[in-house]
Amino acid sequence: MKQRAKDLKSRITKRLEDIKNSKNSSEECRKNIAQSQEQQLTYIDEEFDRIIARILAKKEALKANYQDACFAEVNLLEKEITRVDTSIKDLTKDIEEVNKYTEKLGNIMREIMNSKFSCRKNKTCPRR
């Protein structure tokens, strides 16, 4: 009976050691998981921060390129508008001059016609 008690005590002691070892192993795993989790969360944050920074840099570059393109296009349009305005002013002056010369020519033609008509009427036209 003493031997049985001794064997039982030995088995219980071994079982207790196995349980303690299992507990230590579980605690070690828990500690490793906590460390790994912290490292992975830090890595995820850093990686997403890098991705976000790259995306924001591309966004700003695209915005700057688009603004530059719009600015260039507006400048071209402003130059074209200025050119057309200048042409309109020049053509308006030309039309005014043509109108003025047409009026003068009309006056000269009326004078010539009047003088021819009056010289025929008075029979004072020069002979050729």
Residues 19, 12, 23, CA angle at the centre, nearest 5°?
A: 5
Task: Give domain limits for the chain.
Answer: 1-95
* More reliable by pLDDT, 116 or 7: 7
Of 21-25, 86-90, 118-122, which gets the smallest average pLDDT? 118-122
pLDDT score of 48:
97
3-state helix, strand, coil split of the chain in percent (to 5) is: 95, 0, 5
- Tell the residue number behind the tokens 């020069």, with chain if given: 126
**Measured in Å, how far apart are the chain's first and last C-alpha atoms?**
173
DSSP string, 23-80: HHHHHHHHHHHHHHHHHHHHHHHHHHHHHHHHHHHHHHHHHHHHHHHHHHHHHHHHHH
| pLDDT at site 116 | 64
Mean pLDDT score, 88-99: 96
Q: What is the largest CA-CA distance in the chain?
A: 176
Q: Give pTM, 2 decimals.
A: 0.52
Q: Mean pLDDT across the stretch 51-60?
A: 98
Torsion of CA 51, 54, 57, 63, to 10 degrees: -80
- Calpha distance 121→128 (Å, rounded): 17
